[in-house]
Structure 1
Amino acid sequence: MWRTKVMVAMVIASSLALVLFYSSLNLEEVHRRKAFVEAANTVLVVPARRNATLHATLHATLQAMTTGHPQTTSRSPQQKEATGISILISTKFIQDVPKSSAYWNRRQHALLKLLESGSSGNATENKILGWPDCGTTSLERLVTNIQDFGTYPPLYQVFLQGMECRDPPILIDQPGKCTSDEWDGKTFLLLAIKSIPQNFERRQAVRKTWGREGRYEGGVVVRTIFLLGRSPPEDPDLGALVSFEALHYRDILQWDFRESFYNLTLKDNAFMSWAARSCPGVAFIFKGDDDVFANTPAILAFLHSLDPTKAAGLYTGHVVTNASPFRDAKSKYYVPVSFYEGAYPAYAGGGGFLFSGSLIRPLLTLSRFIPFFPIDDVYTAMCFKALGITPVAHSGFQTFDIREEDRQNACVHRALILVHQRSPQQMLRLWRDMHSPLLTC
C-alpha cells in the first residue's frame, strides 16, 4: 500500500512537472511574439549619425519581417496610421540637402531639426508637423515665405497651397482588394497604376492585357488597382461613370483632390497609406502610368530570380542620375529657384518601377518628415534615399521608349519589362502578337 502511494505521488509530480515545462515554453513563445509585434509597431525616427549600429539592427529587423508572418493586434485606423517599423533617416540624405533660403530646403531642415530635438513621434505628431488635415495653406504664409510666389504658374500655386495635405478623403475604396478569399487572399504583385477619370479607354486596355488579374505561372497572384483623383472643376463631371466602373471592376481607388501633374506626389502618398492599411502582406509593387506597356510575365520572372536577401530592399527601374531641376517656367517639370535648390537624387522614372512591399510602411512613416515635392518620381527617390536605399538600374525598363523601327515588333517587346508610351490600340495588338503561338522570334 505504501509503495502504491509513492508511485501515485511520483506520477502526479512528474505530470505537474511536464505541464509546467510546456507551459513555460508556450509562455516564452507568447512573450517572444509580443515583443516582436511591439517592436514592429513602434515608430522611432532617429538621425542615423547618432547610432549606426541601431540603423543596421533595424534594417535586419525589417528583413526578418519580410520572411516571417508575425501576428498583429487589432487597431483603429488612427492607431494604424500612427504606427510603423522603426526607421532612421540616412546621413547621406541629410548631408545632401543644401542649406538654402529656398522654401523646400528651409522646410526640410526645420523637420530635421525637429527630429534632432526628439519632440516628434508621439500622439501630437500631426500638430507639431503642421499637418492636421488637408486644409489649404494660407496664401499669406506662402507669400511671406516665398517672395516671388505671385510669379509661380497657377497649378504650382495650387500645389503649394495643398502641400501639407497627407491624408486626403477617399471617395472610392477597395478595402478587400488584397485580402479577399479569391486566390487564397494572397497577393504577390500589386500593379498600382496612375490614371485620371477620363482615361477609361486606357484602363480597359490595361485590364485586357498586362494588367489582367489572376493566378500566374508558379501559382503567384497578381492584382491591379487604378489610382485616381477627381476631375478639375473646368472638366466634365465623370463621377457617376467612375463610380459605376469601380463597382463593376472593383479596381478603382479615388481620392478627393484635384487631378494635376503636381498632385501626383499626393496621389502616391495616398496610395502608400492605403496599401499599408489594406494590402499589408503584398510581396512586390509595380507603380506606373496607364499609358505604359508592361510585360507582366517578364516582371514575374525577374522577381522570381531575385536573391531573397536582396528582395527586401528592391527599388528598380529606368534610373536617372545626375539630374537637376528644370528652371524653364514653360516646362511642366519647372522648379523655381526660390522653391528648391540642389541636385536630384538618382531616381527610377515614374513611368514604371518596382519595389518591395515590405518597404511600404517605412517609406510612409519616413515621408512625413520630407516635404512634398512637385515631381513625384523625384520625391519617391528622396524617400528611398532617406531610407538608405539607392535605385538599381534594369535595362528592361525603357521609360524613354525604344528605337522607332522596333516599336511594333512583338519579339523586341518580349525581352523588355516596360516601354513608354503606347496607345490602347497598340497595347492590345502587341499583347496579342506577343502571346500568339504563331510568333517566331
Structure 2
Amino acid sequence: MVQLQVLQLLVEIMRILLKHQSCCKWSIVFGTAMLISVIFIMMDHKFPPTDRKVYKLLPVNQSEWYWKATAHITPPQPTKHVVECSVDNGMQNIPSHLPAPHRNFLMYKHCRKFPRLLSPTPCENDLFLLLAIKSTAIQVDRRIALRSTWGKRGYIEGKRVKLLFLVGKSSDRIQEYSLQQLLEWESRQFGDILQWNFKDTFFNLTLKEVHFLDWFSLECKWAQYVFKGDDDVFVHTSNLLEYVKDHNPSEHLFAGDIIPKAYPIRQKHLKYFIPKEMYPDKEYPPYAGGGGYLMSRKTVLSLGVAASSMDLFPIDDVYVGMCLLNINITLTHHPGFKTFGFKQVVSHFNPCIYREMMLVHKLNPTEMWTMWSLLQDPKLQCFIKT
C-alpha cells in the first residue's frame, strides 16, 4: 500500500539523518516525532479503503521512471506529457572552456515554460500572508518541521497565513523508491506543494522564480503579502505581520537583507562562478540575500511583468535584483533578516535574540522545533542589559 511505502521511505530518511547528525537527544526526539506524526496521519480517516490505489513503475525514457496509479481512481494531479525544449540554434558556439552546467544553461535558457505536476489548494480570498518556500524532494524533514512550527497554516493574530513549497522534478531516491511518490503523497495530505516538470538544480532556481510569479499572478494575486525564502530558515511570522501593519499591499515593498554591492565571482571552481560571457558587468545590481525577503502584492505582480521580458540568469537572487532594477523599485534593508547568520560573537541559539528577528538562516529541523518551542514558552524572560 502507498501508506506503507511512504512509511518505509520516512524510516529510511530518519536512519540517514541520524547517521549524519550527532547522536544527541534532540536528533532522536526529532526522528521519533516525525515518525509518530506520520503514523497518526496514516491512521486518519483521510485514507478510506475506497481511496487506496495500486501503483507500479512505468518508464518515461531510458533513464527516468515515475509512479502512476493503475486503479480506476486516478491521481488528483497526473503527470502531463512533456514536449522537450530544443537547443537554441543561436547558441551553438558556446566557449568550450565553460563548465558543463554553464554551457547547458546557455543552450536552454530560452526554455521558460514547463508544465505543472502538482498544484496546491486554492488561495483563500482573505489570504494575508503567503509563505512561498523553495524546497527539494529530499528535504522532507525540513517541510515537516516548517508545517508544525512557524509555517503553520491558518490564522495568526487574526490574519490568514498560507504555506507553499516550490519544487522541481528530482531524481533523488531512498533505496529503490522515487521521492516523486512522496511528494505526491504530501500534496494529497497537505495541499501545499507546487511542482513543475523541470530538473531541480541550482541553476534552475530562476525557473522556480519565474514560474512562481506566473502562478501568483493567475491564481493567488489577492494575497496581500508574500514571504519568499528557503526551507532552512527560521521565520518569526508574528514579526512579519507586525512589520507590515504600517504598509499598504497596494504600494511597493521589498524588504530583506539587502546586498548593495556585490561582484560576479570569476573563480571557476566556486559554486557562484559567473564567466564574463554570461555577465560582462563588474557589479551586480542591489539584491536581497536569498534566505528570505518580504514583498507586497504590488511588488510581486510587478516582478512578474518584469521577469516575463528579461533573459534568465542562473543565480535567482541576482535575477530578482535585475528585475527590481528594471522597474525601479527601492529595496529596503532590515537588520532583522539574518540571511548570513550572526556576524557578532553571540550565542546564535538564544531565544531572546530570535524573538526580535524576522528570520535566521541555516537551522536544521531539530533546531527549528527547539527554537519554536522556546519562543512559545510563556515563562520565557528576556532582560535588557543596561
TM range (shorter): 0.7 to 0.9
Q: Deviations over 1:319-339 (max 9, x none)?
A: 001111000111111101112
- Partners of 2:217 and 2:319 in 1: CA distance: 19
Residue identity over aligned pairs, in percent, reads 36
Contact 1:134 1:167 survives alignment (8 Å): no
User: How far apart, CA to CA, are the structure 1 residues paired with 2:114 and 2:335?
Assistant: 36
Structure 1 counterpart of 2:123, one-letter code? C
Q: Find the counterpart in structure 1 of residue 45 from structure 2.
A: none
1:335 correspondence with 2:274: yes
Shift in Å, 1:136: 3.1
Query: Which one-letter code corresponds to 1:437 in the other structure?
Result: P
Map 1:29-428 → 2, pairs under 5 A: 135-138=85-88, 140-144=89-93, 146=94, 148=95, 150-174=96-120, 176-179=121-124, 185-217=125-157, 219-232=158-171, 237-306=178-247, 308=248, 312-342=251-281, 343-402=283-342, 403=344, 405-428=346-369
Determine the C-alpha separation between the residues in 2 that align with 1:398 and 1:284. 20
Structure 1 counterpart SS, 2:127: coil
Return the offset for 1:193.
0.0
Contact 2:313 / 2:319 at 8 angstroms: preserved in 1?
yes
- Contact conserved, 1:137 with 1:160, CA < 8 A, in 2? no
Match of 1:66 in 2: none
Return structure 1 stretches of 4+ with deviation > 3 angstroms: 232-236
**Counterpart Cα distance in 1 of 2:329 and 2:205:** 22
Per-residue deviation, residues 297-331 of structure 1 (Å, max 9, x unmatched): 0111001133x3x8611011000011110001111
One-letter code aligned to 2:137:
P
Q: Deviations over 1:410-440 (max 9, x none)?
A: 0100000011110000000000001101211
The residue aligned with 1:72 is none
Q: Would the aligned equivalents of 1:134 and 1:162 in 2 still touch at CA under 8 Å?
A: no
Contact 1:318-1:397 at 8 Å conserved across structures: yes
Say which of 367, 371, 378 aligns to 1:430: 371
Contact 1:284–1:355 (8 Å) recurs in 2: yes
TM-score (norm 2): 0.73
Determine helix, strand or coil for the equivalent of 1:188: strand
Asked if the contact 2:225/2:294 (under 8 Å) is kept, the reply is: yes
Between Structure 1 and Structure 2, the one with more strand by share is 2
- Counterpart contact for 2:150–2:236, Cα < 8 Å: yes
1:165 and 1:266 in contact (8 A); partners too: no
Write out per-residue CA displacement over residues 399-419 of structure 1, whole angstroms, 9 at most, x where no aligned residue: 010146322100100000011
| Alpha-carbon displacement from aligned partner over 1:207-264 (angstroms, at most 9, x marks no partner) | 11111111111x2111010000011479963111110011001000110000111110
2:231 counterpart letter in structure 1: D
Aligned residue for 2:276, secondary structure, equals coil
Aligned partner letter, 1:391: L
Give the structure-1-normalised TM-score.
Answer: 0.64
Structure-2 residue corresponding to 1:16: none
More helix by share: 1
8 Å Cα contact 2:92-2:107 kept in structure 1: no
Write the letter of the residue equivalent to 2:215. W
Contact 1:231 1:258 in 2 (8 A): yes
Checking the alignment, whether the CA contact within 8 Å between 2:151 and 2:163 is kept in structure 1 is yes
Number of matched pairs = 296
In structure 1, give the amino acid aligned to 2:260. Answer: T
Highest CA radius of gyration, 1 or 2? 1
Unaligned runs of at least 5 residues, structure 1:
1-132, 180-184
| Aligned counterparts of 1:157 and 1:234: Cα–Cα separation in 2 | 27
Say what the alpha-carbon RMSD is for the aligned residues.
Answer: 1.8
